[in-house]
Amino acid sequence: MGKRNIVVIGGSMGSLEAFKTIIGGLPADLEASVFVVWHMSPDSGGILAQVLDRTGPLHASEPYDGEQIKPGRIYVARPDHHLLVENSHVRVTRGPKENRFRPAVDPLFRSAAYAHGRHVIGVVTSGALDDGTSGLWAIKERGGITVVQDPNDAQMRSMPESAIRNVRVDHILPVSEIANVIVRRVREVVETTEPTMDKNGSEQIKKEIRVAAEDDALKTAVFDLGDLTPYTCPECSGVLARLYDGDRVRFRCHTGHAFSPDSLLAALTESIEDSLWSAIRGIDESILLLNHLGDHFAEVDQRKLAARFFQKASEAKERKDRVRAVVLDHESLTTEGVQQEAEIFVDTPAVTSQDASAGRSE
């Protein structure tokens, strides 16, 4: 028998105030270790640990790799590094980005679930897209307690809503009530028996933790965890394999970058815009060169040849205008955004499966 003594908290946009409220509500005699991941810029300077250290009675700091885990301490992920939990110490690594972030919430949650099972409390707060959902699912499957900030209470609803849609969440609460639940759950006695989880799911979690811990993803054989897809990794252009958390699909490439469907869709649509602007730049350069050559041949009195170059420059300008119109009309997509659009049209006549198939683009 034992107590829940590992608390992992993750958030993104709008979560700073949530973190301060939660940490400020924890008592000095908390018999648990707290780990926090916040999506941040690599050059943010690690301000979160300083802020949280001043927020409540518990000491907060950025741990070093291999530091021993102690109760009553807050361990904050440092910029551009994943924070992982092992049995008795922490890992601070520069493994591949997950959901386009390092640090990311999922690696922390996943490592805590694997190492500490029923003794883990996972908390998802305000944030964009859906980092944290996969890790929270792992915590639930390994017997831990799952807590999500009420989306109506969050500055950004996406992360909480994704977690609620995909995980059997134990508590959905306004942030002002989360600290009290953590304290109550930490005091509960739980069994120390190994949680029931199918062998494949446990092996997948183990391999993904190794990747985040800087193991070579190719040697770790992440491709053995799922089928190859036609999609390429937005980070390195490697082939993506399809993984599953229960019924929920995710993607990981052979170098280790991992994506939820939402983060992959967002990355791909953003890369389309980048490619279109690159095309415009290339056409602009061709227009400049064609006009330059036209001027050159005009100066040497080869007027027909000069006129031909000027004509080609004009044609290129027309193509550029068409591409520019496309890029200005381009939309960066997320699954949440598409779902919200679908809700707007909820009162319109239902679309049949035949209609939907007819509207599909290949």
DSSP three-state, residue 287: helix
* Burial of residue 195 (number of CB atoms within 10 Å: 0-12, 13-18, 19+): middle
State how far Cα 241 lies from the chain centre: 17
Report how far residue 34's alpha carbon sits from residue 36's, in angstroms, rounded to the nearest whole number. 7
Residues noted as catalytic: 12, 39, 131
Q: Which two tokens stand for residue 32?
A: 């648990």
Report how far residue 66's alpha carbon sits from residue 46's, in angstroms, rounded to the nearest whole number. 19
CB count in 10 Å sphere of residue 317:
15
Give the residue from 2, 23, 183 showing the smallest Cα distance to 87: 2
Report how far residue 71's alpha carbon sits from residue 30's, in angstroms, rounded to the nearest whole number. 7
| Strand order from edge to edge, sheet including 73-76 | 59-61, 73-76, 33-38, 6-11, 120-124, 145-149, 171-173
State how far Cα 190 lies from the chain centre: 31
116, HSE (Cβ side, Cα atoms, 13 Å) = 30
Do residues 35 and 83 touch, judged by C-beta distance below 8 A? yes
